[in-house]
Amino acid sequence: MTELPFRNSRESVSSLLASLEALLLEKGRVSSEEACRLLLNAAHVPASLATSILDSALSHDRRFEILEEGFVRLTPSAPIPSAYLEQLDYTVVDLETTGGSALDRVIEVGAVRVEGMRPAREFSALVDPGIPIPAFVSSMTGIRDDMVAGARRFEEIADEFASFVGDSVMVAHNLPFDWGFVNRELARYRGFVLANRRLCTVRIGRKLLAHLPDRRLDTVAAYYGIAIDGRHRALGDARATASILVKYVGELRDLGVRTLEELEGYLAGKPAAEATFNAPLPPQESSSSPASA
Exposed e or buried b for every residue in 74-83, given b needs 16+ CB within 10 A?
A: beeeeeeeee
Q: Dihedral, CA atoms, 176, 179, 185, 190, nearest 10 degrees?
A: -140
Do residues 202 and 219 touch, judged by C-beta distance below 8 A?
Answer: no
Do residues 262 and 275 touch, judged by C-beta distance below 8 A?
Answer: yes
Distance, CA of 83 to CA of 3 (rounded, Å): 43
Q: Which of 186, 214, 188, 194 has its CA nearest to residue 202? A: 214
Exposed e or buried b for every residue in 241-254, given b needs 16+ CB within 10 A?
A: bbbbbbbbbbebbe
60 alpha carbon, distance to own chain's centre: 27
162 alpha carbon, distance to own chain's centre: 12
Q: Is 232 a catalytic residue?
A: yes
Do the strands 71-74 and 64-66 form a parallel or antiparallel pair, or are they unpaired?
antiparallel
The one catalytic residue in 44, 60, 173, 232 is 232
Q: What is the set of active-site residues?
A: 232
